[in-house]
Structure 1
Amino acid sequence: MRQYFVLFIFGIILAFSSCRTDFDTVASTGDLKFSKDTVYLDTVFKNIGSSTYQLKVYNRSKNDISIPIVQLKKGLNSKYRMTVDGMSGSNGKIFKDVTLLAKDSLYIFIETTADITDANPTDFLYTDEIQFDSGANLQEVALVTLIQDAVFLFPKQNADGTKEKIQIEGKDVDGFYLDENDPENGNELIFTKQKPYVIYGYAGVPENKTVTFETGTRVHFHANSGLYVGDKATLQINGTASTTEKLENEVIFEGDRLESLYSDIPGQWKSVIFANGSTNHSINHLTLKNAVIGLDFKNPLNAIEIKNTQIYNCVEYGILAQNAHINGENIVINYAGIASLSCVYGGNYSFTHCTFNNNWQNSSHFAVTLSNSLAGASPETNPLTQAAFNNCIIYGSSTNEFNLAKNTNAAFVYQLNNCLLKFGSTTNPDYQFKTDTEHYNNIILNENPKYYNVSKNQLNIDKTSAAFAKGNPAYIIPLDILGAVRTSPPDLGAYQSKDFPK
C-alpha cells in the first residue's frame, strides 16, 4: 500500500512540473560575460557573404535572467545578421526578452554581407555593435569586418534567362570570353594589381589573344570556376620576386573565400586549363592554391616556361601535363590527391632545382608520375622524348613517391641527375636507382630533406638537410625561388638553405 502512495505522490509532482511552461526570471543587471569583446570577421569581398562567427554569452549569476533586448546598434539597417540561441528575431537584427538560465550560456552566430560603400572610406572597415539591454545595464560587443573592393568577372545573362556559356573539350560550361574592349572593365586581357579580381564560371582567353597577369596581381576564383586558355591563345604571368612574406610581387591564384579558415582547403575552384593548340605560355612567380587541378596542359603547342612557381593543396594534380613541352625551374608543389606532377601521354620535360613533394593524407598518391600512354586516346601511346630531373627533390609521405607507367610501344626517355628521392625497395628493373646509370645518377635515396614546416607548405631546408650542397654545379640555377643566390655546390630543390628562426 505504501508503495502505491509513493507512486501517487511522484505522479502529482511530475504532472505539475510537466505543466510548467515558463521560468521565474529576474531582469538582467548588466553583468553578462562574453567570450570576446570584439568579433573580427575576416576580410570579405563586397556583396559576398562571410563565414559564420561565434560569440558566447555567459550568465555567471545564481539567477535565471531575462535580457530585455539583444540587438545590432544599427538596427534593421545593419549589414550584419545574427541568430541568438537558434532564434532569428526580427530579420536577424533585434531580439526581445532573451532568457538565460543561471550558470548557463547562449550562442550568438554572426554573418555579414556588405558593399564597399558601406565601409569607412579611410580604412574600408565596416563596424557595428551587438547591444545587450540598455541604459545603465547596456553592454556592447564590437563587430569589425574589412570589406575589399574587386573587379568581378562573370557570365552574362542571356535574354532567355540562361547564363552565357563557352565550350571546353566539347562541353558547354558556365563561362565567358575576356573582352579587350569591355565597356565597364576596359581591357580584361590585362590583369593588374590595382584591385583583386573575382571570377565566376570559366574566364576564357579568345583565339589568337594573350592574357597577361602583371606583377602583384590577385585573382580569386569562385566555386567551380577557372581560367581557360583556348586554341591559339597565350597566357603570360609576369610576377617577380617579393621581399616580404606578403608575396607582394607574386601573381596569386586562389579561391574567393578570404577567411583564414579557407586558406588551405583544397578544391575551392577548378583549374587553369590550357587547350589543345594553345601556345607560347610563360609563367613566372605564380602562387596557385586550393584548386582541383592547378595547371592542366592539354597538348599545347611550343615549349612552356614555368619558373619560380608554387602550387599547393590541389584535389587531383598540381600540374597535369598531356603531351606537353615544359621547361621548369624553381617549382614547388605540395599536397595533391593523385600526383603533384603528372606527365602523361608522352611529351618533353626538363625540371631543374624543383621540389616535388606530396604529403596528401592517403597512401596512393605520388610526387611525380610519368607515362607515355593515355586510355581512350588514338593512338593510345605517344613518345616521351625526354623527362629530365636535375638537382630536384621528389619526396612525400608515401612509401613510393615516383611512378613510371611505361608502355613499350612508344619511346620512354627519362633521367634523374643529383636528386633526392623517396622510394621503397623493389626488384623492378625500372627502379634500380644505384645500378641503372642510364636513368639515375647520384641519387640520394630515402633520406629526409627536413623541410621547415611541410604542413604549412614551407619546404625550405637548412644545413642539416640531406639535400644540403648535394647538387651538381653543371645544372645550377643562379637564384632560388625567393631570389636568394645559390652557393656551389648548390642545394637540391627550389630553395637555397638558410637558418630557420628559433
Structure 2
Amino acid sequence: MKRFLSSIFILGALFAIASCNDEETFSLSRADKLTFSTDTVSLDTLFSTTSSSTYQFWVYNLNRSGLRLANIRLAHGNQTGFRVNVNGTPLNGNNGFQASDMPIYHGDSLRVYVEATAPNTGVTAPQAFTEDLVFTLESGVEQRVKLRAWAWDATHFDFLDVRHDTVIDSPSRPIIISKGIKVNEGATLTVKAGTTIYFNHSAGVDVFGRLVLVGEAGKEVLMRGSRLDKMFDYLPYDRVSGQWQGLHFHSPSYQNQLSHAEIHGCFDGIVCDSSDVNREKLRLEQVTVHNCQGDGVRLTNSKATLVNTQLTNTLGNCLVVDGGDVALNACTLAQFYPFDSNRGVALHIAAKHALVNFMVRNSIVTGYASEQVEVSLSRLSTSAYRFAHCLLRASKTQSADSVNYTNVIYEVPTDTVSMGAKLFLKVNGNRQDYDFHLSKQAFAIGKADKTTVPSIDRDGKRRNTVPDLGAYAHH
C-alpha cells in the first residue's frame, strides 16, 4: 500500500509539473533575453586535423515568462570545424546544423556542448578560427556566443619505422606521433636542434639502433605529450605526468647521444636494457628528464655518462643504477613529485647486476624525504661507488663505506632556508610548477670542485670561477 501511494504521489507530482508547463506563458517581448554563462567559448590550441576536448556552457532564462527559441544555428554551418550539441540535440547535417522550436521555461536552463576539429591553415604559426552560435528568440531577438580556437599545422606520423639513417629537422613545424617510433638495429635517427616531437598517450620511442638528439643552447630538442589543453584552469596537461611512454633503449642499442634535450611528462623517461658494459650505451649532456609517472632514468647493467643533467620529480626513482659503469658530473637529482607519499627517491643504486663503477661528482641529490640516496649492494660491490664534492640529502655514513664519500655535504632536513626545496628558484607542488635553477640562498653555491666540474652548465653558460654544485650555475 505504501509503495502504491508513493507511486500515486510521484505521478501526481509529474502531472502537476506538466500542468505548470502547460500554463507557462512565452514572452514575445524584445526586452526579455537569454543569459549565458559565458559570451565566448575559448578552446585551446589544436594541431591541424585533430579534435578538441568537449567544452560546455549554460543558457539561462532568468525572466518571469518562458522563452521559445525559434532557431539555434552555427552561423557558417559546418564550414569552420566546430560541433555543437544543445541539450542533447546535435547540430549536424540531418537538421541543417540548427535546432528549432526549443522552449526554455522561466528559471530553467539549457546545457550546450562544443567541440572542434582544427583545419589546415597553410602557415607556420598557430592561426585563430572562429564561429558564432546564434540564438534567435521567437520575438526576433538574436543573441550570439562566440566560439574560438587556434589551429596549428603539424606533421603527423601514425607509426614511424626507422630502417635507414634518418634525420628529423623541423624547428618551425611540430611533429605528432600517434603510435610510436621504432629505430631498428643498424639505423640511426637524428633529431636536429629546435625540433619538438609530441607523442600520443600510447606512443614512445623504442631504440634498437641509435638515437641522436642534437639540440643547442636556446634551441632544445623537446619530447613531450601531445595534449595542449588543460586539466584545470591553472594546470595544463603538459605539467601532468604519464602523458606518453618515454624512451626505451633495448639491448642491441649503443652510442646513443642526447644533447640539449628535454623529455618530460611520460611514464618512464629513459630505460636502458642490459648491455655490454665495455661499450657506451648512453650519453646525456645538458639534458632534462622531468615529471615521470615511473622512473626518470633507469640504467640496467649499462655503460652511461650523464653531465649537466637534471633528473627531477618522478613517481618512481629519479635515477636507478642497477649494475654497469655509470658516471655523473654536475647533475641535479631532485625528488619533489607532488601529491603521492609513495614516491621513490632521487637516487637508487640496485643490486641485481654487478656494479663495475659508479662515480658521482659535483652533483645535488635532494628531495622532500630525509633519505634520498638508497644503496642496495652486495659486499663485493660496495667499493665500486663513490661520491665526490656532492650535496646529499642522506644520513652521514659512519661505516666502512664512508671512504666512498669525499668532500660530501649532508643536507640538514630541518634547514628550510638554504637546503631541500629552498635550493631552487621554484618548487610549487600545487600548480606543478618548478624551476631547478639555484636560488640566491642555495647552500650548493660555490661548493663544486673547479678541477673536475664542466666549464659550462645545463644552459650552456660558463660556470663561475668558484663553481656551483648541480646542473645549473648561479648567475
Residue 53 of structure 2 corresponds to residue 26 of structure 1: no
Checking the alignment, whether the CA contact within 8 Å between 2:44 and 2:228 is kept in structure 1 is: yes
Bigger drift between 323-332 and 296-305 goes to 296-305
Partner of 1:474: 451
Partner of 2:331: 354
Checking the alignment, whether the CA contact within 8 Å between 2:85 and 2:112 is kept in structure 1 is: yes
Partners of 1:256 and 1:274 in 2: CA distance: 22
Partner of 2:254: 279
Say if 1:12 and 1:364 are closer, same or farther in 2 by CA, change over 3 A. closer
Partners of 1:97 and 1:433 in 2: CA distance: 83
Checking the alignment, whether the CA contact within 8 Å between 1:364 and 1:398 is kept in structure 2 is: no
Query: What is the alpha-carbon root mean square deviation over aligned residues?
Result: 3.0
1:369 to 329, 348, 362: 348
Checking the alignment, whether the CA contact within 8 Å between 2:383 and 2:401 is kept in structure 1 is: no
Question: 1:368-387 counterparts in 2 under 5 A?
Answer: 368-373=347-352, 381-382=353-354, 384-387=355-358
Checking the alignment, whether the CA contact within 8 Å between 2:192 and 2:213 is kept in structure 1 is: yes
Deviation of 1:113 (Å) = 1.5
Deviation of 1:289 (Å) = 1.4
Say if 1:422 and 1:83 are closer, same or farther in 2 by CA, change over 3 A. farther
Question: 1:244-323 counterparts in 2 under 5 A?
Answer: 249-260=219-230, 261-300=236-275, 302-303=279-280, 304-323=282-301
Partner of 1:88: 90
Say if 1:364 and 1:145 are closer, same or farther in 2 by CA, change over 3 A. closer
Partners of 2:452 and 2:17 in 1: CA distance: 82
Partner of 1:389: 360
Checking the alignment, whether the CA contact within 8 Å between 1:418 and 1:444 is kept in structure 2 is: no
Say if 1:434 and 1:217 are closer, same or farther in 2 by CA, change over 3 A. farther
Residue 11 of structure 2 corresponds to residue 17 of structure 1: no
- Which residue identity does 1:147 align to in structure 2? A
Deviation of 1:288 (Å) = 0.9
Partner of 2:5: none
Partner of 1:158: none
Deviation of 1:120 (Å) = 8.4
Partners of 1:412 and 1:227 in 2: CA distance: 35
Aligned-residue sequence identity (percent) comes to 24
Partners of 1:410 and 1:442 in 2: CA distance: 20
What secondary structure does 1:474 align onto? Answer: coil
Say if 1:442 and 1:412 are closer, same or farther in 2 by CA, change over 3 A. closer
Deviation of 1:335 (Å) = 1.9
Partners of 1:405 and 1:189 in 2: CA distance: 41
Say if 1:310 and 1:433 are closer, same or farther in 2 by CA, change over 3 A. farther
- Which residue identity does 1:448 align to in structure 2? G
Runs (4+) of structure 1 exceeding 6 A deviation are 10-13, 119-122
Partners of 2:124 and 2:194 in 1: CA distance: 23
Checking the alignment, whether the CA contact within 8 Å between 2:438 and 2:473 is kept in structure 1 is: yes
Partner of 2:4: none
Deviation of 1:358 (Å) = 1.4
What secondary structure does 2:463 align onto? Answer: coil
What secondary structure does 2:404 align onto? Answer: coil
Partner of 2:210: 234
- Which residue identity does 1:128 align to in structure 2? E
Residue 425 of structure 2 corresponds to residue 452 of structure 1: yes
Deviation of 1:211 (Å) = 0.6
What secondary structure does 1:263 align onto? Answer: helix
- Which residue identity does 1:239 align to in structure 2? G
Partner of 2:59: 57
What secondary structure does 2:402 align onto? Answer: coil
Once the two structures are superposed, what CA deviation does each residue of 1:243-297 show, in whole Å capped at 9, x if it has no partner?
xxxxxx1111111112243111211211211111211111111111111111111
Bigger drift between 388-397 and 95-104 goes to 95-104
Partners of 1:483 and 1:349 in 2: CA distance: 23
Partners of 1:48 and 1:444 in 2: CA distance: 50
Deviation of 1:228 (Å) = 1.3
**Structure 2: gaps spanning 5 or more residues:** 1-8, 231-235, 413-418
Partners of 2:11 and 2:264 in 1: CA distance: 65
Say if 1:401 and 1:136 are closer, same or farther in 2 by CA, change over 3 A. same
**Structure 1: gaps spanning 5 or more residues:** 1-9, 156-175, 181-186, 243-248, 374-380
Deviation of 1:403 (Å) = 0.9
Relative to the length of structure 1, the TM-score reads: 0.79
What secondary structure does 2:451 align onto? Answer: helix
What secondary structure does 2:90 align onto? Answer: coil
Partner of 1:192: 170
Partners of 2:61 and 2:149 in 1: CA distance: 27
What secondary structure does 2:311 align onto? Answer: strand
Partners of 2:102 and 2:291 in 1: CA distance: 44
Checking the alignment, whether the CA contact within 8 Å between 2:193 and 2:221 is kept in structure 1 is: yes
Bigger drift between 105-114 and 206-215 goes to 105-114
Checking the alignment, whether the CA contact within 8 Å between 2:48 and 2:154 is kept in structure 1 is: yes
Partner of 2:150: 146
How many residue pairs match? The answer is 440
Question: 1:123-142 counterparts in 2 under 5 A?
Answer: 124-133=127-136, 137-142=141-146
Partner of 1:443: 409
- Which residue identity does 2:374 align to in structure 1? N
- Which residue identity does 2:216 align to in structure 1? T
Partners of 1:336 and 1:11 in 2: CA distance: 54
Partner of 1:414: 385
Relative to the length of structure 2, the TM-score reads: 0.84
Deviation of 1:418 (Å) = 2.3
Residue 156 of structure 2 corresponds to residue 177 of structure 1: no
- Which residue identity does 2:195 align to in structure 1? T
